[in-house]
Structure 1
Amino acid sequence: MIPAKRLSLSATLLLAAAMPAYAHVGIGTASSFTAGFMHPLSGLDHMTVMIAVGLWAAIKGGKAVLAWPAAFVGVMLVGGALGMLHMPLPFVEPGILASVVTLGLLVALAIDLPVSVGVAIIGLFALFHGHAHGTEVPENAGGLEYMAGFAIATLLLHGTGIAAGLGLGIRFRGLARTAGAACAAIGIGLAFGIV
């Protein structure tokens, strides 16, 4: 018999994969440091995922506190380069939407995975986020300033999640898990066009 946590996670991933977020491609200018820095702060999908990575890392503790945010930013930059080179990547929008729901659930359920498995999950989602943003960089712009701004803002949001998770500590871990549930709810709301 499949455990309830695994079943609900699988169902959510299938739902998210079936519905596009349409949150990224072709929106706004993406040729400056400021534009890159502001982009993660401009939408719930970005903010919730970036903070959820930090919260999940704080809940896990140990090496995850550095490894998971570093994996996200590193792979996001690779995805951004692929997007700027116009290399196709399937399922970008569903992958971004799935990241909101899945990372929210991982925090809400306090799923304890090995650090390497967390790196793989986070890296996969970061690839989608980075690719979407790389495709937004205009042809006549190098995009390096934009990606630098995006990376720094992403690290700050990860840091916010880590600080909140560590600050709440074990005694108030339920609040961090509630924030994860809110992230998953936002993802589901995006899927259905409610948010």
Structure 2
Amino acid sequence: MKAAIKSGLLALAAVSLPAVAFAHTGVGDAGGLAHGFMHPIGGLDHVLAMVAVGTFASILGGRALWLVPASFVLMMAVGGFLGIEGVAIPFVEIGIALSVVVLGLAVALRWNPPTAAAVGVAGLFAVFHGYAHGAEMPLDAAGVNYAVSFMAATALLHIVGIGLGIAIGRIGSTSNGALRFGGSAMALAGVAILTGYL
């Protein structure tokens, strides 16, 4: 099982490496790679939600460790396609802010739903995040490059969240308090984003 988890994390990292390399070429944005890679990292709401997904997955463990982040990336691609194509989705900004609240609470409360439910929640919120990335794609960016790089940045943020969750889990008896504090801070930030204070 540990070998499968390590393989999954290595696969996510391998998928992410091309975008990292192209994001710093020094010759423009390489057809959308730099813009796509920086978009998820440039917004607090996106960073918090992506890290929360990884931390939530690490709390669940087992197959959820890779299924939850993978479903997020996959459904984010769907949302990105809808955004690029200009298909209208209502309440995108509210959905993004709520994702930070809900995923932060999932971490704080150590929510332990069935894997299918966790995958569904992550996938639902991913559509909103992907839509925002797609809708904000620069006009001169190559769509495929842009999408691959924002998916890679998302996967890296998930890996950060997984690493945090695993590290916190190893500190022993204080891990529950650390997760409660971190998740609560994320949820409060989500409320601030939702109400316009952040």
Q: What interval of TM-score do these two structures reach, taking the shorter chain for normalisation?
A: 0.7 to 0.9
Shift in Å at residue 140 of structure 1? 4.7
Instruction: Name the counterpart of 1:147.
Output: 147
Shift in Å at residue 54 of structure 1? 0.5
Which range is displaced more, 94-103 or 137-146?
Answer: 137-146
1:4-153 residue pairs with structure 2 within 5 A?
32-153=32-153
Partner Cα separation in structure 1 for residue 50 and residue 121 of structure 2 = 13
Shift in Å at residue 179 of structure 1? 1.2
- Identical columns (%): 46
Partner Cα separation in structure 2 for residue 178 and residue 64 of structure 1 = 23
Report the AA paired with residue 180 of structure 2: R
Instruction: Name the counterpart of 1:26.
Output: none
* TM-score scaled by length of structure 2: 0.79
Distance 1:169 1:59, change over 3 A: same
Report the AA paired with residue 128 of structure 2: F
Q: Which runs of 5+ in 2 are unaligned?
A: 1-28
Listed one character per residue, the Cα deviations across residues 79-131 of structure 1 (whole Å, up to 9, x for unaligned) are 10111111111221111111011111111111110000011100000001101
Shift in Å at residue 39 of structure 1? 1.3
- 2:63–2:115 Cα contact (<8 Å) kept: yes
Partner Cα separation in structure 1 for residue 101 and residue 151 of structure 2 = 22
Q: Which runs of 5+ in 1 are unaligned?
A: 1-28
Aligned residues: 166
- 1:165–1:173 Cα contact (<8 Å) kept: no
Report the AA paired with residue 116 of structure 2: S
